[in-house]
Amino acid sequence: MNKKAFLLLITVVSALGGLLFGYDTGVINGAQFYLSKHFDLDAAMKGWVVGSALLGCFAGAIIAGPLSIKLGRKKSLIISAILFTLSAWGSGLPSLFEESVSLLVIFRIIGGLGIGIASMNAPMYIAEIAPSNIRGKMVTYYQLAIVIGFFVVFLATYFIGNGLSEAENIEFGWKRMFWSELIPSGLFLILLFFVPKSPRWLALKGDDDAALKILNKIHGGEEAQNEIVEIKKSLDTKVDKTKVNYFSKAILVIIVIGTALSVLQQFTGINAVLYYGADIFEKALGFGKEDVLAQQILLAFINLIFTFVAMFTVDKYGRKPLIYIGSIGMIIGFLLLGFSLQQNAVGFISLLGVLIFIGSFALSMGPVVWVILSEMFPNKIRSVAMSVAVAAQWAANYVVSQSFPMVMESEMNNSSPWNGSLPYFIFIAFILVIIYLTYKFIPETKGKSLEEIESFWKE
C-alpha cells in the first residue's frame, strides 16, 4: 500500500469515529418525540432520557486518558466502537425487557462512554500519525465527519419516521432509528483492525522499531528516521518517564490553557443555538413546528460548507487566524440577533445573525479547537491532558444546555432592555475571552512537528 492510500485509510477510519460521535448524539433528537409517547414520559423524564448520554460522555472522556496510555489509541477506539454498537443495539430493546425506560437510559449512557472515548482518542490518533504539513486538514476531517454524522442521522430518522404511521413510530419506529446506527458502528469496528497503532504511543512504550516501521509507511526513509529521533528526544528524561508530575507548574499551565480553550468552545453558545434555535426560525421565516426539517437542513448546510472552508485553509493560513476571523464573525452574528431581539424586530436580520454565527463557528472554534488540542500537548502528557480537556468540554456542554433555557425564561431577560437577547450578549463576552486567550497563550502550530510544538512550552 502506497503512502497516500495508507493515509487515506487512516483518515476514513478515524472520520468514522467522528461520524459516530455526531450520529450517536444526534439520533436521540429524531427518536425522542416518539419514545416519549411510547413511555408516556413527563418533562423531567424526557430531559433525563435525552441528556443522560452526556454523563457517559463525561465519564468516557475521563477514562479515555488512562485507557489510551495503557492500551493505546487504536485499542481505545476499538473499545469505543464496541460501546457504540452495544448502545445502538440495546437502545431499541427496552420494550422486550418489561418496557423499562431505565434500561434505555443505561444504553444511552453506554453510547455516551463511546463518544467520550472517541472524542478524545480519534483526533489525537490522527494528529500523532499525520505528516505535519497536512495534519491540520486531517484532524479537521474529524469535525467534518461529526457534522456529516448529524446530517446523516437526521436524514435516517426522517426517512424511517416518514415511512411509518404515527402509531407505528410510537410502537417501534424509534427503535429502528437507534438500530440504524449499527451500520456505521459495525463498519467502524471492522475497519479499525486494518489501521496501525500510533507511532508516538509505540515510542512511549519503548517499541521504537515498530514506531519506525509505521513512520516509514507514512513518510519514507530519511524523514521517518529524523522523526523517530525527535520523538525519542522528546521522551528522553533523566527521571522515570512513566511517572509524570501533572501538578508541576510547567505541566499544569499547559493543561489549564488547553482545557480553557476546550471549555470556551462550548461557551460560544453553539449548542444553545442548535438545541433551542427553532423558535428563532419560526419567528423569522414563519416556519411551523412541523417544518423542523427545513430549519435543520439550512443549519446543516451552512455548518457543512464552512467546515469544508476550514479544512482547506487551516494548514494554509494557520490555526490562530481562523480563530480570530471566526470569533469576529460569531460576535457579528450574535450582535445582529441580539439587537433585532432588543428592538422587537425579529425577522430576516435575526436569521442572518444565526447563520453568520453558525458559519463562523464551523470555520473556527468547531474544527480548530480539535486540531489545537490534538497538537499542543507534549508527548508524555498528551493522553491525560486531552482527557481532562475533553471531559471539561462535555461538562461545559451540559452547563450551557441546562442553563440556557433558564436564562431565556428569566424575568431579567424578558424585560427591557434585553427583550430576550441577554444570553447572546453573555456568549459575546466569552467569545472576547477566546480572542484574548488565543492571542496571549495559544501557540501557532501550523506546519510544525509535534515535537517542535512541544519545544514552545520550554521557551
279-293, 307-321, 402-416, 421-435, range with the lowest pLDDT? 279-293
In this structure, the number of other CB atoms found within 10 A of the CB of residue 426 comes to: 18
Q: Residue 199 corresponds to which cell in the numbers above?
A: 507511532
Stretch 96-120: mean pLDDT: 85
pTM above 0.85, yes or no: no
55-59, 97-101, 376-380, 397-401, range with the lowest pLDDT? 97-101
Residues above pLDDT 90, as percent of the chain: 43
303-307, 321-325, 359-363, range with the lowest pLDDT? 303-307
Nearest to 444 by CA among 331, 327, 322: 322
129-143, 159-173, 319-333, 388-402 — most confident range:
319-333
Q: For 338-365, give the DSSP string.
A: HHHHHTT--SHHHHHHHHHHHHHHHHTH
75-84, 95-104, 401-410, 440-449, range with the lowest pLDDT? 95-104
Q: How far is CA 33 from the centre of its chain?
A: 24
Stretch 401-408: mean pLDDT: 81
| Number of residues in the chain | 459
In this structure, the number of other CB atoms found within 10 A of the CB of residue 370 comes to: 27
Rg (CA), the chain: 22
292 has pLDDT over 60: no
Q: What is the pLDDT of residue 275?
A: 63
Q: How far apart are CA 48 and CA 244, in angstroms?
A: 38
